[in-house]
Amino acid sequence: MSNVFDGLKPALVWEHFYNINQIPRCSKNEEGARAYVKGVADRLNLEYKEDAVGNIVVKKAASAGMENSPTVILQGHVDMVCEKNKGTVHDFTKDPIKMLIDDGWVRADGTTLGADNAIGVCMGLALLEDDSLAHPPLEVLCTIDEETGMTGAMGLEPGFLDGKIMLNLDTEEEGALYIGCAGGKHTIMTRKIDWQNAPSGQKTYSVKIKGLRGGHSGLNIVDQFGNAIKLLTRVIYKLGQTQKFSVASINGGTAHNAIPREAEVTLVLDSAAHAELEKLAAHFSPVFSDEFSAVEKDISFAIEEVGAADKVFSDDLSKTIISFLYSIPHGVEAMSQAVEGLVETSTNMAVVETRENELYLLTSQRSSVASSILDIADKVKASAELAGFDVEQGGGYPAWQPNPDSPLLKACKEVYSKKYGEEAEIKAVHAGLECGIIGEQFPGMDMISLGPDILGAHSPDERVKIDSVNNVWEYLLDVLKAL
């Protein structure tokens, strides 16, 4: 193992984490990570099987004295969100993740870390490897493509799993036991680009906003972090109140489940419009700093003259795309009336991309109430149709309905209170977990989700707390002994 993790506990978990982070594993590119899991199983002479979509389950017999205990599934996903800061040189198709220890946390150097959810997977692998541990019969389930559609969980077929008890290891808060999650869907919008020649005698400018925190579009939506697409189009919309502009391209965001941290629009402007844009940038920079003073410290706005654009969007489309992106719903739509502090419904304006001949927009909607998912998604659809976009909705996944009478929850609560002398927090999360899908496909599955402290998931700020990994590991071992 690399010296970066020498001395960290539990050693096997960190060893596997180091190893798997040497392997590219962006969503839909998990073959290397899958090979690693199968290699561990082969080395340990453990039975495993894989299904048609690429999920793997590895089985391990119970330790001595626990042969009559029910089988427990330990579940995590092998893929990761791949994001990097502007200026970070990293090729996610081939480069290992560069990891650092920083004041009690492990983080990456300018990229996402992939602790979401490799730490959970690696806890399962460590349990497979360490024969000194007491545990019931185990099935370590490693799913694929959780981050871009949960297609792995959706592809699970009846009979693939034997167990009826599952510990999902994909939440990010030590001391909390999660018993429910939001469902969600995607709304994709496209519109053919009506190109025209760029106006003569004008200059081309790149307008960028960056430095925002971004984060997970479910977990962090309540934090009211800035959305780079929304802030950028706010400025350009204001420009359009007094000046004419032509859009040559607009791009921002990277994934449906990440709040956009950066966005850029290329504009063709006359001298008066450029002067007004500079004034607006000077005006909005302190405005944004004030509005987001509690959560955003590094917002930056940059205007730079670039090579002349040959073609631009039509006048109508230039105006429409800015107005639409400025007005499209984003953020918390409703808070739960049943669970204090829980977001019930939200939407994320996630990606805008200028392609060769079309504009592509991606949003995601979440809710713990099935009808509300449809409602907010249809609001986005209606807005898009008014703006002339074709709309496709999909990527749906079900909510995980809490079961407060769960025998597994009772056991986990008892272990926690005995171990720590206090009660665990029982929560639901405004994010999609594979538990909702797995519970629907395997009726009667008793499930809990837990995990160590991870902050900044889905962004280059992602980090996992070292002590928390060991604490959750030791708690997990105690839970397995009690089942």
| pLDDT value for 338 | 77
Q: Which of 15, 30, 79, 453 is catalytic?
A: 79
pLDDT tens across 310-322, in order?
999 999 999 999 9
* Residue 424, both tokens: 């665990």
| pLDDT value for 86 | 82
Q: Tell how far CA 42 is from the center of its chain.
A: 31
Average pLDDT of the chain to the nearest whole number: 96
Kindly tell me if the per-residue pLDDT of 164 is higher than 70.
yes
8-state DSSP, 302: E
pLDDT tens across 84-139, in order?
998 899 999 999 999 999 999 999 999 999 999 999 999 999 999 999 999 999 99
Partners of residue 58 on adjacent β-strands: 48, 140
Quote the CA–CA distance of 18 and 8 in Å, as a whole number: 12
Beta strand 165-168 with 446-449: parallel, antiparallel or unpaired?
Answer: parallel
- Encode burial over 118-157: b for 16+ CB neighbours within 10 A, e otherwise: bbbbbbbbbbbbeeebebbbbbbbbbbbbbbbbbbbbbbe
Best CA proximity match to 441, nearest among 398, 401, 404: 398
Averaged over 447-457, what is the pLDDT?
97
| pLDDT value for 396 | 87
Q: Which of 83, 116, 139, 146 is catalytic?
A: 146
Kindly tell me if the per-residue pLDDT of 348 is higher than 70.
yes
Lowest mean pLDDT among 244-258, 335-349, 377-391, 435-449: 335-349
| pLDDT value for 174 | 98
Averaged over 234-259, what is the pLDDT?
97
Contacts within 8 Å (CB) and 24+ apart, 474-479: 475/415, 475/416, 475/419, 475/450, 476/123, 476/167, 476/169, 476/450, 477/133, 477/134, 477/135, 478/415, 478/419, 479/167, 479/411, 479/412, 479/415
Kindly tell me if the per-residue pLDDT of 443 is higher than 80.
yes
pLDDT tens across 179-220, in order?
999 999 999 999 999 999 999 999 999 999 999 999 999 999
Quote the CA–CA distance of 385 and 391 in Å, as a whole number: 7
| pLDDT value for 401 | 87
Kindly tell me if the per-residue pLDDT of 388 is higher than 60.
yes
| pLDDT value for 235 | 99
| pLDDT value for 2 | 55
Enter the pTM of the model: 0.79
Q: Tell how far CA 185 is from the center of its chain.
A: 14
Name the pLDDT band for 149 (thresholds 50, 70, 90).
Answer: confident
Quote the CA–CA distance of 121 and 66 in Å, as a whole number: 23
Name the pLDDT band for 432 (thresholds 50, 70, 90).
Answer: confident
Averaged over 20-46, what is the pLDDT?
98
Quote the CA–CA distance of 177 and 173 in Å, as a whole number: 9
Contact yes or no for 37/74 (Cβ under 8 A): no
DSSP labels for 254-290? --TTB----EEEEEEE-HHHHHHHHHHHHHHHHHHHH
Partners of residue 300 on adjacent β-strands: 210
Does 79 participate in catalysis according to the annotation?
yes
| pLDDT value for 386 | 97
| pLDDT value for 337 | 86
> Which domains, from first to last, does the chain contain?
3-182+399-482 (3.40.630.10), 185-397 (3.30.70.360)
Kindly tell me if the per-residue pLDDT of 1 is higher than 70.
no
What are the CA-CA distances from residue 410 to residues 135, 136, 217, 380, 483 (Å)? Answer: 18, 18, 31, 40, 11
pLDDT tens across 254-271, in order?
999 999 999 999 999 999
* Residue 357, both tokens: 């001949």
